[in-house]
Structures are given as structure tokens and as C-alpha cells.
Amino acid sequence: MAVAKTTNNTELASDKLILIRFICPVCKTEKELPINKSVINQAKQLTTLSIPKNKVCLHHFQAFIDKNFKVRGYQKVDFVFELDDVEEQKFPIYTIKLNDEELLNNLKLDKNHLEYNPKSEKNHKKKTPAQIKNNYQNKNKEIPKVKNVKFEKKEMTLEEIYEQFWEFIDETNQEFRELILKDSRRGNKG
């Protein structure tokens, strides 16, 4: 999903913008808004644009735009989550760059549990690859191999299928018609 701020269009080149006419599906208010062409060109089929309230009118709605920059439909929004004060604050995003060796030295593997512990390097002396290999060879147990296991495919009868999936089978289903008529769970007297 692409997020574009249309309040400050000075940074967007005018040849990359296209004016699209939006019509509110609730009150039918019309307004043209500039949209960056690259947002629509990135989508495979339709692009869904969320039009916030006070952008076109007092309603929040969604518009579906095709590759030819034509509006193909609208959908009104029934409920919008309002952002709390805490959510509106911008928190810094920290990027940590690790090389492969540093990452691998701080991984803790125990059976099927993998944990990253960056403080382990300070607390423990580095182990050589041979020590690590010996450590895990001793912990792993041999899993016995099962030989000559044959799985038989069981065919279900029509009655078994009906009993298992009766609530998902439509009343008018001709394949199960006889079973539907006999079924007391469906209000039939059987």
C-alpha cells in the first residue's frame, strides 16, 4: 500500500500528477484531487485509495482506480479507528546493522527454539566452531526411522460426508437431497 500526502504537492512534479474526479458514495459531493501516477502504476490491477473525511466531503470512503486512471467504484467506510494521542506521536526507528559473523555468534539454538541474544557475547567466551558442533551433536538424539509405512486412502461415503459437513451443505443441493429431507437438524420430520 502506498501512502501519499497530498497536502504538500510542491515536492511532486506536475507531469507525474493526474487529476482524478472523486464522488462521495454517501452525499455525492464531487472533487478533483491530484494523484501521483506512480502510485497507480505500481498496482497490478486496481488501486484502492482511502479518501479521508474533509478531503472531498465530511465522509471517509474508498475509491478503486484502474490502470487507465479511471474510477471503477466506491465503497463507503462504516467505521474508522481514531488515533490515540500516543499513536499520533512519531517514534524514531532504529536500524541496527550486523554482519553475518556477529549475528551468528549471538544466536542461541536449543532443539527447535532459536533465540537472538546480543548480550551473550559479553557474558560468554567465544566458542570455536568445533566446540559448537560437539555441543549440538551431544544434545541431538537419533530419531528412529519408520520403515514400510503405508497410508491407505479412505473413500468417504455420501452419508459420512453429509454428517461431517451438513451445516455447510445448501438446502437445495441435489447430490444430498435424500439426506437433507431425512435430517431432523434441518427441521425436517424425516
Give 68 or 143, the one with higher predicted confidence.
68
C-alpha cell at 177: 437431497
Residue 34 has pLDDT above 70, yes or no: yes
d(CA 63, CA 49): 5
Q: State the pLDDT at residue 185.
A: 86
- Determine the distance from the C-alpha atom of residue 108 to the mean position of all C-alpha atoms in its chain, rounded to a whole number: 29
pLDDT at site 71: 92
Provide the pLDDT for residue 32: 93
Percent of the chain with pLDDT over 70: 62
Query: Is residue 67 within 8 Å of 41, Cβ to Cβ?
Result: yes
Give the Cα separation of 141 and 99 in Å (integer).
32
Tell me the pTM.
0.39
Q: Provide DSSP, 43-93.
A: SSS-EEEEE-TTTSSSS-EEEEE-TTS-EEEEEE-S--PPPPHHHHSPPP-
121-125: average pLDDT:
51
- Mean pLDDT lowest for which of 56-65, 111-120, 142-151, 159-168? 142-151
pLDDT at 88 over 60: no
pLDDT above 70 (res 137): no
